[in-house]
Structure formats: structure tokens, C-alpha cells
Amino acid sequence: MNIERNRRGFLKKLVALGGVLGLSPFAINRMLGSEIARSEVDMGGDIATMEATMVSTWNHGMVANKAGFGALLNGGSSLDMIEAAARIVEADAEGLSVGIGGLPDRDGVVTLDACCMDHKGRAGSVACLEDIMYPLSVARKVMEETPHVMLVGDGARTFAIDQGFVPTNLLTEKAREAWIKWMETHDYKPVINIENHDTIGMLALDNEGRLSGGCTTSGVSFKMHGRVGDSPIIGAGLFVDGNVGAATATGLGEAVMRTVGSFLVVELMRGGMHPQAACEAAVKRIIDSMDVSELQVGYLALDKQGRYGAHAIHGGFNFALTTANSSDLIDASHG
């Protein structure tokens, strides 16, 4: 009790001292964040880093974060970090789950979903987008150039072309072969299993304390034509509140949508939870509400103080954590 009172006294003095020294509210906030984080044990995320931080899902998060920090070094904002990170993965024709090269739907058509959100709560999204290589950039255009949040299908494609995006065949030979093989062995039913998800969800905090996020995917492979998952749905695959934190999801979108997962994670952080605890609670919400034996979902979160967390239903989910000093691929907790 006394320790707690002393700590609070220390924090108050820190705020006052920060004001005297002319520190920005952000700098003070980060200092408080580190103090708060230090008081939490066994809670996943690190103490506040006082520097830009980026977390992204899966192995491809490593190259994505590198591109994100490249954008930051060029003077970009956290939203620029997100867009640069997305583009590097979307343009990789070898990747079977994002952008060009993504596995098609059960009719052999590649349809892409993506969204982004910035620290002001502005959001843009595209779903079931065909023939366009950079869906997250199109989502950003929806956010910045239209009064809308979401465009889908032909409307999204036409908008993208109007904005200067070049139509491109997204079905690579490798993806087409996988689709043909799938049709033979899977009797034309969409596959929903725990290995079949590799959306990239990205969360970035820049040196000015601005949080942004993005999510981009070709969705569940061999899905029904027209199926849209959680990834482009604000609140499901991604949610950012610039004053609180950000969260993103990967895995079976239907489970995330039914529990409005990323919004839930951010709301739990708003209530004071550490990002790790918030991810665990959102995963538990899914486990408590449906049979999860055949499905995987993972959440990744980053709060305004730079603390992070990640948790999944099953093992195997990992994420990249990058700051100015280090970049690591970390296995998320699960269960």
C-alpha cells in the first residue's frame, strides 16, 4: 500500500517536473507508461521504449517492419510506416496470403481485403478487390480522398484505377497450381484450418506518439467468391484509438468478426489492461463462445506507451517487434 502511494507520488512529481522542463505531454506520457509497465510482472510486452515501435504479424512482419522504419527515417509518419510495410509484402509474388501471389477463392479469383486507420481515428478500407496489387494503399486513398470508409468489389477496383493504380493479374502460376491441386483433393469445399492464415496486421507508433495500423490479406484461401473476412472490417481485423492503443487480428476472420476482436482488445486497454492481458481476454472470448478445435485466431496489440502484447488460440502464431535498436521475431503465447 505504502509502496503504491509512494509510486503514485513519484509519478505526480514526474509530471510536474516534466512540465517545468518543458517536456511534451507525449514524452511525459511515455515516461509514465514505462513506470506503469515496470510495475507489471509476467505481462508479455516490454517497458516503454521512448522511441518508435512497430509490431507486425508472422514472419513477413520482419521485412515489413524494416520497410516501415525506412519510411520513418525518410520523415514519414506512423501511417507512412504502415503503408510502406504493407507494400513490401503485397508486392512479394512468393507470398501465398497477401497481395500478388495470394491464393485465390474457390473459383480461382484472387480477391484482396485491406484497411488502415490513423491516430485521429480516420479509417479506410477495401474488400473483395480484384486486379490491384496494393490494396492497403487503395484503402488509404479511400480514407484520404473520399467521404467514405469502405469500398468493395467493382466499385473499389474502379476507384483504384481512377486513382492511378494499374490493373495487374494477381494469380501467379504457383497460386494457380495450388488452386488446381486443392480442387482435386478438397472436393470444392473452402479450407478452414489452423495453418491456413497469414494476413499481415501491422501497428506502428512514431516518435511523435502517433499510432496507426493496417491489415492486408488475400483472406482465407479457396473461400467462396465474395467472402470478406475480418481484415478490412474496422473493429474486427484492426482498430486504432490514438489515445489508447491499437490492435490487429489474424486467423479465421469469421471468429474475429463475431466477437469484434480488435475493438474489444482496444476497449480492454482503455479500461487499463496491459496489451498482453487484453489480447488474452479477447482470445478467451472466442474460446468461450465457439468450438475452436479447428480454428486459429491471434491478436497483436500495441498501446500508446509502446507496450505490446500478442496471444493466440493455438501455438504457432508469431510476430515481429522492431524499434530503432532491434528487430526480433517473437512467438506469441497461446491457449
Min separation Cβ 275 and ligand ASP, Å:
19
* Set 199, 217, 250, 322: catalytic member: 199
Q: Counting contacts by CB under 6 A, is residue 95 touching ligand ASP?
A: no
CB neighbour list of residue 286: distance below 8 Å, 6 or more residues apart: 255, 256, 258, 259, 261, 292, 297, 313
CA distance linking residue 128 with residue 130, whole number of Å: 6
CA distance linking residue 221 with residue 257, whole number of Å: 17
CA distance linking residue 243 with residue 119, whole number of Å: 8
Q: Counting contacts by CB under 6 A, is residue 251 touching ligand ASP?
A: yes
- Return the residue of 172, 250, 305, 322 that touches ligand ASP, per CB under 6 A: 250
3-state helix, strand, coil in the chain (%, to 5): 35, 20, 40
Q: Which range in 7-15, 86-94, 103-111, 246-254 contacts ligand ASP by CB under 6 A?
A: 246-254
CA distance linking residue 255 with residue 289, whole number of Å: 9
Min separation Cβ 138 and ligand ASP, Å:
17
CB neighbour list of residue 259: distance below 8 Å, 6 or more residues apart: 282, 285, 286, 289
**153-162 helix and 135-145 helix, angle to the nearest 10 degrees:** 80
Min separation Cβ 230 and ligand ASP, Å:
5
Residue (132 or 194) nearer to ligand ASP, CB? 194
Q: Counting contacts by CB under 6 A, is residue 235 touching ligand ASP?
A: no
- Under rule CB under 6 A, how many of the chain's residues touch ligand ASP? 14
- 146: annotated active-site residue: no
Q: Which range in 78-86, 215-223, 270-278, 307-315 contacts ligand ASP by CB under 6 A?
A: 215-223
Contact 300, 333 (CB under 8 A): no
Residue (31 or 115) nearer to ligand ASP, CB? 115
Question: 226, 218, 229, 235: which is closest to 252 by C-alpha?
Answer: 229
Q: Counting contacts by CB under 6 A, is residue 220 touching ligand ASP?
A: yes
CA distance linking residue 198 with residue 247, whole number of Å: 16
Q: Which range in 10-18, 36-44, 223-231, 327-335 contacts ligand ASP by CB under 6 A?
A: 223-231
- Return the residue of 30, 60, 119, 197 that touches ligand ASP, per CB under 6 A: 197
Min separation Cβ 296 and ligand ASP, Å:
8
Residues classed as catalytic: 199
Residues found near ligand ASP in the complex (CB under 6 A):
97, 197-199, 217, 219-220, 229-231, 250-253
